[in-house]
A = this chain, B = another copy of it.
Amino acid sequence: MTKKFNPVTPELLAELKNVLGEKYVKTDDDHLVAYQTDEEGNSYYFHKPEVVVFPGSTEEVAAVVKLANAHLVPLTPRSAGSGVACGAIPVYRGIVIELERMNKILTFDAENMYATCQTGVMTGDLQAEARKHNLLYAGDPSSAESCQIGGNVANNAGGNKAVKYGTTRHQIYSLKVVTPTGDIVDVGARLQKCSTGLCLEQLIAGSEGILGIITEVTVKLRPLPPYSFNMVCVFKSDEEAFALPNKILKAGIDPTSIEFMDNEALVMTCKFLDMPMPHVDDGCDYVIVTVETFDEGDSDRKMEKLCDLAEANGAIDVLEADARIWKLRKQFAEAARNIDMMFQTEDFVVPLDKIADITKQIPELREKYDLYCVTVAHIGDGNIHVLPLNVKKLSPEAWFEKIKTFHRDLFPRVYALGGKMSGEHGIGYKKKEEFSLCTPAGEVNMIKAIKKALDPNGIMNPGKLVDVD
C-alpha cells in the first residue's frame, strides 16, 4: 500500500462531470458503500471508492482514463461485480468505473455466427439471444444470469461447457479496449486464423483489468446441437469418479461437461433446495455428464458407450437426469452462502490425472486447519472447487487468517502437481500474495514488465494480480 496516488479532488470531480454528465458521477455514501465490494462477503477485503462513474460509451471510458492518468488517480473497472477474487474492489480507493450502462448487443449476425456486445451485456442475455437463432454462445459461467460479458473476458471465466468449448477466451474473436493511457485499440479480428502481429486479444483476456478496460467483445457463435442428454454416474469412491473423465475423453464421446459433486455438497444443496435426490443418503458422489449432438442416433450410441464406461469404472448406478440435476449443480453456491456469507471458493486446477492426488490431501488439510469443506468440481477440465464454510462463524479477520494459512499449505501442493491456483476465478486482490509466492520469478518479471510497459503510471486496477513498483 505504498503507491503514491493522488486523492480525487473537487477539480477532478468537476472534470468527470463535464465528460459524463452530473448524474453519472456519484459520490454519495450509498454508492460508495455499494461499490466497496463485489461478490466478496468478507468485510476484511472491503474498500470504498472515492467516486463511482458510469460512462455510456468507449469514448467516455477513454476520457475517464485520460483524466485518471492526468491526476494520477487509481481506476478500478467493473461490470456486474460478480467476481469472487476481489477483482473489482478499489483497494487504493480512487475511481470505480462501472460499465453497466454499456449493455447493448451491437451486432448479432446469425448467418455468419458472431455477435458484438458492449461490455455490460448480461451473459445470460447473450446466451438467450443465440438460442433464439438456433445458435450457441458457449461461454457458460454458473453465474450467467448475474454476470456480464466484459467481466467474463477480463477474468477468462470458465463454467460448465469448458470441456467441449473451452473457457471465455476461446469464445472471442476480438476486443475493443481502452488502454491504461486512454487509447482506444481494437485487438484481434473476426478471423478463424491469424498470424499477423502479436496475439493481443489473448493477452488482454484474463488480464483482470490491469492492462486496460474492455468496452466491446466480438464473440463466436456456434450451431446449437439439437440433441442433448445428461447422465448422472453415481460413485461410492471419489477415486473411481475421478478416473472417469479421461476414459470419456479418449472414447471420442466429446462431452460438453463433466461435473462432480461430493456427498457433502449434495447433502447441503438437496437440503437447501428441499429436493431429495437418489443415493444422496447413501453417502455417494455424483459425476454429471452432459453430451450434445446433431443426430439422435449419435446421442443413443454415446449414451450407451457412456453407461458402459461408467459401469466398467465402478459406478453403482447410472441415471438419465432431468432438469433437477443442473438446478442442484448451479444452486450449490447459494446453498453455501446460506450457511454463511463468508465462505471461500477454492478454484485450483490440476491436470486431469492429478485430480485424485490433490483431492485425497484435502481431508488432512481439513483436519489440520479445522475446516468444514464441501467439494464440487469441473472434473472434465481439472478445476476443483473446495469450499471451506465458516460454520463456526469466525470474525472476518479470523476467517481471513485461517484461509491464508490454509492457502499457504494447499497451493504448494497444487503447484507440485503441475496445477495453478485459479482455473476460472482469477487472482484479483484476494490471492495476489499467494500468486507471487507460488509463481516463479521469471514469469512474474515478464508480467510486471508488460504491465509497466502498457500502464506506466500504474493507475489501472492497481493492487490486483501483481504489485509493480
Residue A427 interfacial (CB < 8 Å): yes
- Chain B residues near A189 (CB-CB < 8 A): 418-420
Per-residue CB contact flags for chain A residues 54-88 toward chain B (1 = under 8 Å, else 0) read: 00000000000000000000000000000000000
- Chain B residues near A388 (CB-CB < 8 A): none
Bound Cα distance from A420 to B189, whole angstroms: 8
Which residue of the partner chain, among B112, B424, B443, contacts A352 with CB atoms under 8 Å? B112
The answer to whether A197 and B440 have CB atoms under 8 Å apart is no
The answer to whether B252 and A195 have CB atoms under 8 Å apart is no
- Chain B residues near A200 (CB-CB < 8 A): 443, 446-447
Which residue of the partner chain, among B195, B422, B440, contacts A195 with CB atoms under 8 Å? B422
Per-residue CB contact flags for chain A residues 177-210 toward chain B (1 = under 8 Å, else 0) read: 0010001111101111111111110110111000
Residue A278 interfacial (CB < 8 Å): no
Within 8 A of B (CB), among A390-418: 418
Select the residue from A187, A197, A419 with max chain B CB neighbours within 10 A.
A197
Residue A273 interfacial (CB < 8 Å): no
Which residue of the partner chain, among B252, B446, B452, contacts A294 with CB atoms under 8 Å? B252
Within 8 A of B (CB), among A160-188: 162-163, 167, 169, 179, 183-187
Nearest B residue to A85, CB-CB: B195
The answer to whether A440 and B251 have CB atoms under 8 Å apart is no
- Chain B residues near A250 (CB-CB < 8 A): 113, 223
Residue A340 interfacial (CB < 8 Å): no
Show 17 residue pairs from A and B whose CB-CB distance is below 8 angstroms, ordered by the A residue: A162-B193, A179-B442, A183-B445, A185-B446, A186-B443, A187-B443, A189-B419, A193-B383, A194-B349, A195-B422, A195-B425, A196-B423, A197-B427, A197-B465, A198-B446, A252-B294, A449-B453
The answer to whether A446 and B454 have CB atoms under 8 Å apart is yes
Stretch at the interface among A5-13, A45-53, A230-238, A295-303: A295-303
Number of this chain's copies in the assembly equals: 2
Residue A421 interfacial (CB < 8 Å): yes
- Residues of A within 8 A of B (CB-CB), count: 82
A137 CB to closest chain B CB (Å) equals 15
Residue A155 interfacial (CB < 8 Å): yes
A218 CB to closest chain B CB (Å) equals 10
Which residue of the partner chain, among B155, B206, B347, contacts A199 with CB atoms under 8 Å? B206
Per-residue CB contact flags for chain A residues 268-310 toward chain B (1 = under 8 Å, else 0) read: 0000000000000000000000000011011001000000000
Within 8 A of B (CB), among A65-120: 111-113
